[in-house]
Structure 1
């Protein structure tokens, strides 16, 4: 979550846990994720998440 400012290590652990739990093939086929009660915020959240993951793996 953007307001929590997770560390690169925490982001990588979350990605690994999600892939382990869901599998790579299933993640690719997941399609559009649900955005809860605030779909109007989805674009900003996804942009933040992609940037955070990109930076977390660049720091590895």
Structure 2
């Protein structure tokens, strides 16, 4: 299975988490934050998107 194939089959929740994780790993505002909601504005938005996907989009 190639990377492109794996990304196509990626669950929305896992994709949202991956996007947040990749951002937080590189962002100077998110790196020192102990909680996701203490990071930069973009990091917070990505975390909210992950939580919504985790909850099934019901919020």
TM-score by length of 2: 0.37
More helix by share: 1
TM-score by length of 1: 0.37
